[in-house]
Structure 1
């Protein structure tokens, strides 16, 4: 029997509690109400990691509002694989998003100006808060991967003349591709390689109150094949290119992009604000050599009760992984007591951060998203390979992986209103039998090096 450690959540006041297997009651497998069979002979995707985003707002709150002691604590709890939950994937905005204190790009000009040589390009904004925190995160977890997504091109490149709404002008496709190159090179100069980029955050959504840019699939396809990928090759950049970066309800978009750009695209990025995770598998079935990534999902006040909100992250996270995603990335790493800061004119924010930093009291609170991410990230490490897992009852949701150290990790969620006794079997042999509370989550790590 391998060494086993269990992490359990069974309610709002009992979240991600560590239980060495020796402290668990010895339950007979024949008394189980549900059986989970993990088959190491059937394997799927390799994991890149779990994480969230250092938006301008999140970075400001952690880097400037928190004192040094609390800042050190939260960074360790977020990124350290031993002392924290070992987050290993960041997806940061390239310029302002809705969660920023101001609207900014890396090449802002006064109205009517243009700078096709990008002589004014600068990432000075990011050097204040974002880059120091990403550097610290990499020190805490050297396996961390960093990807970047723009909410908008600089306003002078767009039909609207603004970072808010509008489309990229065709005459600036080449300049905008070079803008990506400058960004990647600037981050590399700070010791931060960019693992991947997406071309546009939520390209089918054009809000009028924060940075956005409409980009139809044929435009994205042309931009990637004619400009972005060629200039990456020219400069010897290894950053991957993911297309789409929007909701599950429009799989036709990435299919359209890949139809003409498959050779220049490495994968598809997805969000959870519409549709179902099965869309990831639907596109993968057509393009099996392209990676699947889940790059944004936020919880918030639209799912108010704690149990429903926690259940949503656990249930959906498991489905995301079972539908071949190599990453599971939530949204803001930190927000304040008003669910902000947001760009001027945004209005009321209902999103939830992974942690809350109160701007008035400087109090630090770990939200349910932190504990839900912990259930995945603590036991499923980078380069883990997903194993088939099948449950005898549909409401017992599961996903399983084999880590590089040989350990087997499983995340289980009891999506029913009654406690279940669950027998977990690996290759037909009983691993352990344990109870899982109604709407409770359990993460198991067996064998290998237990942290």
Structure 2
């Protein structure tokens, strides 16, 4: 039985016949447009409802469109453009695991500030198949910079057996309830835990916040106590019905060596992380009833540390036996792509996973309402990662307040959704729709496929994927602020038919083609 072929193209604006329009309630700001959601209305991604031979585009643009749906048709006539994009599913690359966001304390606090119905709407917008269809949830282990206070699960010094370990109100009020709510919309949701710091009494500085490293040495009292602390976290969450897919060894381990660091942090070098996994964490996970299936992600830092970090950790075969993947942050994406390519070449059995990305963290305006620049940054970031062997991508927060917090250390940032509890509303930023153009259409288990543009064009960025059901996804970004482009999209594995796609200035589109 022949496989039904679907073609999804994320491009810009298509030559098409309009069949539906976005139901976004627009609110305009200096930087652009947001979509306002309240207790009575929130825009949804239009359904894909096509008969044989039809196709649909979903357009998001700086001019205001938000996943606007149109009908388009294939043609075998001569292309009306000199730009030809060819996709080839016979050449495949990495498997895409999916996209995610973070159940930070700040996200939970903002969800709790909204009416229950509206908080449920936020979670549905992120995790349902009709929304972003996120597949991963990152969970801070205790507090981080997006908490309202510094806390750990055991501040009783010298309690090496962790007798006094206990989850905090943040877990019970701001994390677990919304993790469970997300599971209602995605039964296959995968959680990964990330520690920012051990309790201060286990660190060289005697402080949870700021720089410092774990006291002692591998297999020593302090290391064993910290491993017990981590295992207790998984045990307590399991009691609340939460199982974990993976854990990072440490969030941004290089920050723990910077004396200017104010937020919770802890230093690991590649060498100390290697030994910690080999001698302490790895063996303990294997014998844990609650965490024996938890995968280990190394590094969890910026790409400039690669491939050296991965080389150092994974060249030790015993350490490597405990490791599943390499965590990656997005804050050095201006660094050469060779960091990722070399890492994959050296360690092809280990997936690279984007564990944190955010916008506004270095800006005077942490929250920039309607910013297309930030949406475009996300598209570029995701495209760059996916084109260079990265298997997933994760946002730093689900939802923040108007200041970009709360954050006890004033490390404010932007988010795809901003809460306005006094109005019983939230705003969906252009960043939300930028993520949707990937996460809603690229399914877990998809593979990146070969793609090529016949002429070089610095305004256009692209990628292509084959979904498990045979659908295909091609992402194209036009960065030009004034110039439109037209692109002829052709599948080398199909007939001579192509789709003529018109790309408007600064926009993104999903073209979904059903044969």
Common fold, TM-score beyond 0.5? yes
Superposed displacement of residue 3, structure 1: 4.4
Give the distance between the partners of 2:207 and 2:320, measured in 1 at CA.
31
157-166 or 239-248, which moves further after superposition?
A: 157-166
Alignment of 1:214-229 (within 5 A): 214-229=267-282
CA contact (8 A) 2:58 2:67 kept: yes
Runs of 4+ in 1 over 4 A off after TM superposition: 25-29, 301-305
Give the distance between the partners of 1:352 and 1:201, measured in 2 at CA.
20
Q: Partner of 2:254: helix, strand, or coil?
A: coil
CA contact (8 A) 1:337 1:359 kept: no
Match of 2:66? 15
Match of 1:283? 343
Q: CA offsets, 1:296-337, max 9 Å, x none?
A: 111116577833222211111111111111111121111101
Q: In the superposition, relative to structure 1, how do residues 242 and 431 fare at CA in structure 2: closer, same or farther (>3 Å)?
A: farther
Indicate the RMSD between aligned Cα atoms, in angstroms.
2.2
Q: CA offsets, 1:97-123, max 9 Å, x none?
A: 1000111122233xxx22111111222
Match of 2:31? none
Match of 2:167? 123
Q: Partner of 1:353: helix, strand, or coil?
A: coil
Match of 2:46? none
Match of 2:139? 92
Q: Partner of 2:191: helix, strand, or coil?
A: strand
Match of 1:60? 109
Q: Which structure's CA Rg is the greater one?
A: 2
Superposed displacement of residue 32, structure 1: 2.3
Superposed displacement of residue 255, structure 1: 2.2
Q: Is 2:435 aligned against 1:387?
A: no
Q: In the superposition, relative to structure 1, how do residues 181 and 434 fare at CA in structure 2: closer, same or farther (>3 Å)?
A: same
Match of 2:206? 161
Give the distance between the partners of 1:225 and 1:336, measured in 2 at CA.
41
Q: CA offsets, 1:232-288, max 9 Å, x none?
A: 111251111010001111212232222223222111111121234442222111111
Superposed displacement of residue 28, structure 1: 5.3
Identify the match of residue 69 of structure 1 among 110, 117, 126.
117
Give the distance between the partners of 1:103 and 1:301, measured in 2 at CA.
20
Match of 2:309? 253
Q: Partner of 2:125: helix, strand, or coil?
A: helix
Q: Partner of 2:391: helix, strand, or coil?
A: strand
Number of aligned residue pairs: 438
Q: CA offsets, 1:188-228, max 9 Å, x none?
A: 23332211111110000135422111111111111100011
Give the distance between the partners of 1:166 and 1:201, measured in 2 at CA.
13
Alignment of 1:359-370 (within 5 A): 359-370=421-432
372-381 or 205-214, which moves further after superposition?
A: 205-214
Q: CA offsets, 1:150-201, max 9 Å, x none?
A: 1111112111112112111123112222222222222223332211111110
Give the distance between the partners of 1:99 and 1:324, measured in 2 at CA.
29
Give the distance between the partners of 1:290 and 1:432, measured in 2 at CA.
36
Q: Which structure dedicates a bigger proportion of its chain to helix?
A: 1
Q: In the superposition, relative to structure 1, how do residues 138 and 106 fare at CA in structure 2: closer, same or farther (>3 Å)?
A: same
Superposed displacement of residue 31, structure 1: 0.8
Match of 2:128? 80
CA contact (8 A) 2:57 2:70 kept: yes
CA contact (8 A) 2:60 2:66 kept: yes
| Higher RCO, Cα 8 Å, sep 6+ | 2
Q: In the superposition, relative to structure 1, how do residues 302 and 119 fare at CA in structure 2: closer, same or farther (>3 Å)?
A: closer
Q: In the superposition, relative to structure 1, how do residues 379 and 44 fare at CA in structure 2: closer, same or farther (>3 Å)?
A: same
Match of 2:512? 445
CA contact (8 A) 1:270 1:295 kept: yes
Give the distance between the partners of 2:83 and 2:349, measured in 1 at CA.
35
Match of 1:433? 500
Alignment of 1:186-197 (within 5 A): 186-197=236-247
Superposed displacement of residue 88, structure 1: 1.3
Q: In the superposition, relative to structure 1, how do residues 124 and 318 fare at CA in structure 2: closer, same or farther (>3 Å)?
A: same
Give the distance between the partners of 1:208 and 1:398, measured in 2 at CA.
37
Identify the match of residue 294 of structure 1 among 332, 335, 354.
354
- With structure 1 as the length reference, what TM-score do the two structures score? 0.91
Q: In the superposition, relative to structure 1, how do residues 431 and 2 fare at CA in structure 2: closer, same or farther (>3 Å)?
A: farther
Give the distance between the partners of 1:155 and 1:27, measured in 2 at CA.
67
Give the distance between the partners of 2:190 and 2:116, measured in 1 at CA.
25
Match of 2:406? 341
Q: In the superposition, relative to structure 1, how do residues 241 and 332 fare at CA in structure 2: closer, same or farther (>3 Å)?
A: same
Q: Flag structure 2 segments of 5+ consecutive residues without an equivalent.
A: 1-51
- With structure 2 as the length reference, what TM-score do the two structures score? 0.80
Give the distance between the partners of 2:202 and 2:299, measured in 1 at CA.
20
